[in-house]
Structure 1
C-alpha cells in the first residue's frame, strides 16, 4: 500500500459523496494497493474527518502510475 498526500486550495469547491461540495484549504489523499485499486479521500486541512470523492471503484492498470495520477488529480481539483 502506498499513500500520497497534497494540500491545495479549492476556490470553486470539490464534490464529496458524504457532505456535498467543500472548499478552502483541503488535503487530497490517494491510497494505491498492490493490485492497483485506488482510494481517493479529501479533508479540510487539520480536520479529522475524511470524505470520499464520488464515483465507482477506481483502479490503475499499473500501480506505478500512482504518483502521476495523484499529481493530476490535485492539479485538476485546485484549478480555478
Structure 2
C-alpha cells in the first residue's frame, strides 16, 4: 500500500465525519492499495488523532493515478 502526505493551510476549513469542520495547518494522508482502494485521512499538523473525510468508498480506476489525485485533493482542500 502506497501512502502520501501533504501539509497545507485551510483557512475556511475542511469537513470531517467525526468532528465537523477543522481549519488551520492540516495534514492530508492518502493511501492506495494495488486494486485502487483509496483511503483519505486528515488531522491537525503534528497531531496523533486522524479524521476521515465524508463520503463512501473511494476507488481509483488506475492506482498509478494516486499521486495526481493526492495533490489535487490537497490543493482543493487548501482552497476550501
TM-score, normalised relative to structure 1: 0.98
Q: Does 1:20 align with 2:20?
A: yes
Q: Give unpaired runs (5+ residues) of structure 2.
A: none
Deviation beyond 3 Å, 4+ runs, structure 1 = none
Q: For 1:1-80, list aligned pairs within 5 A.
A: 1-79=1-79
Whole-angstrom distance in 2 between the partners of 1:62 and 1:73 = 16
Q: Give unpaired runs (5+ residues) of structure 1.
A: none
TM-score, normalised relative to structure 2: 0.98
* RMSD (Å) for aligned C-alpha atoms: 0.7
